[in-house]
Chains A and B, each alone.
Chain A
Amino acid sequence: MALKRTPLFPMHEKYGGKLVDFGGWELSVQFSGIIKEHHMVRQKAGLFDVSHMGEIEVKGEKAEDFVQYLVTNDAKKLNNGQVMYSLMCYEDGGIVDDLLVYKYNPQHFFLVVNAANTEKDFTWIKEHAFPGVEVKNVSDDYAQLALQGPKAQEILQKLTDTDLDTIEFFWFKPDVKVAGVSCLVSRTGYTGEDGFEIYISPNGAVHVWEEIIKAGGEDVVPVGLGARDTLRFEAKLPLYGQEIDKDITPLEAGLGYFVKLKSEDDFIGKKALLKQKEEGLKRILVEFKMVDKGIPRHGYEVYKNGEKIGHVTTGAHSPTLDKAIGLALIKKEYSEEGTEIEVMIRNKPVTARVMKNSFYKKQTKNKK
Chain B
Amino acid sequence: MRVESGLLYTQNHEWLKVEGDKAYIGITDYAQEHLGDIVFVELPEVDAEFDAEDSIAVVESVKAVSSVYTPVGCTIVEVNEELESSPELLNEDCYTNWIAVVEITDKSGLDELMNAEEYEAFCAEQE
Give A residues with C-beta under 8 Å from B.
18, 29-30, 33-35, 226, 230, 293-295, 297, 316-317, 319, 324, 346
Contact check, A317 vs B58: say whether CB atoms are below 8 A apart.
no
In the complex, A319→B40 CA distance in Å?
A: 12
Interface centre among B40, B58, B62, B63 (most CB of A within 10 A): B62
Instruction: Tell whether A230 pairs with B62 under 8 Å between CB atoms, given A33-B36, A295-B39.
Output: yes
In the complex, A18→B39 CA distance in Å?
A: 19
Closest CB in chain B relative to A290 CB, distance in Å:
10
Partner of B37, one of A34, A297, A324, A346: A34
Contact check, B40 vs A34: say whether CB atoms are below 8 A apart.
no
New A-B contacts (18) at CB < 8 Å, excluding given A35-B39, A35-B62, A316-B62: A18-B36, A29-B36, A29-B63, A33-B36, A33-B37, A34-B36, A34-B63, A230-B62, A293-B40, A293-B84, A295-B40, A295-B60, A297-B65, A317-B40, A317-B60, A317-B62, A324-B40, A346-B58
Is B42 an interface position by the 8 A CB rule?
Answer: yes
Residues of B with C-beta under 8 A to A346? 58
Interface residues of B in 54-113 (CB under 8 A from A): 58, 60, 62-63, 65, 84
Interface centre among B40, B63, B84 (most CB of A within 10 A): B63
Contact check, A293 vs B36: say whether CB atoms are below 8 A apart.
no
Contact check, B62 vs A34: say whether CB atoms are below 8 A apart.
yes
In the complex, A33→B58 CA distance in Å?
A: 21
Dominant SS at the B interface? strand
In the complex, A86→B84 CA distance in Å?
A: 41
Interface size class of B (residues with CB under 8 A): 10 to 19
In the complex, A14→B102 CA distance in Å?
A: 44
Closest CB in chain A relative to B24 CB, distance in Å:
23
Please name 27 pairs of A and B residues whose Cβ atoms are closer than 8 Å in the assembled complex, sorted by A.
A18-B36, A29-B36, A29-B63, A30-B36, A33-B36, A33-B37, A34-B37, A34-B63, A35-B39, A35-B62, A226-B36, A226-B62, A226-B63, A230-B62, A293-B40, A293-B42, A293-B84, A294-B42, A295-B40, A295-B65, A297-B65, A316-B62, A317-B39, A317-B60, A319-B62, A324-B40, A346-B58
Partner of A35, one of B37, B40, B58, B65: B37
Residues of B with C-beta under 8 A to A35? 37, 39, 62
- What residue in chain A is nearest B43 (Cβ atoms)? A293
Residues of A with C-beta under 8 A to B60? 295, 317
Residues of A with C-beta under 8 A to B58? 346
Residues of B with C-beta under 8 A to A34? 36-37, 62-63
Closest CB in chain B relative to A49 CB, distance in Å:
18
Interface residues of B in 25-40 (CB under 8 A from A): 36-37, 39-40
Going nearest first, the 6 A-B pairs with the smallest beta carbon separation are A317-B39, A35-B37, A34-B62, A295-B40, A34-B37, A295-B60
Closest CB in chain A relative to B92 CB, distance in Å:
12
In the complex, A293→B37 CA distance in Å?
A: 18
In the complex, A294→B40 CA distance in Å?
A: 8
In the complex, A18→B127 CA distance in Å?
A: 13
In the complex, A35→B61 CA distance in Å?
A: 10
In the complex, A294→B43 CA distance in Å?
A: 11
In the complex, A346→B63 CA distance in Å?
A: 16
Closest CB in chain A relative to B107 CB, distance in Å:
28
Closest CB in chain A relative to B7 CB, distance in Å:
25
In the complex, A317→B65 CA distance in Å?
A: 12
Interface residues of B in 3-50 (CB under 8 A from A): 36-37, 39-40, 42
In the complex, A29→B40 CA distance in Å?
A: 19
Residues of A with C-beta under 8 A to B42? 293-294
Closest CB in chain B relative to A205 CB, distance in Å:
26
In the complex, A346→B60 CA distance in Å?
A: 12
- What residue in chain B is nearest A30 (Cβ atoms)? B36
In the complex, A346→B84 CA distance in Å?
A: 18
Closest CB in chain B relative to A280 CB, distance in Å:
36
Residues of A with C-beta under 8 A to B37? 33-35
- What residue in chain A is nearest B91 (Cβ atoms)? A33
Closest CB in chain A relative to B85 CB, distance in Å:
11
Residues of A with C-beta under 8 A to B40? 293-295, 317, 324
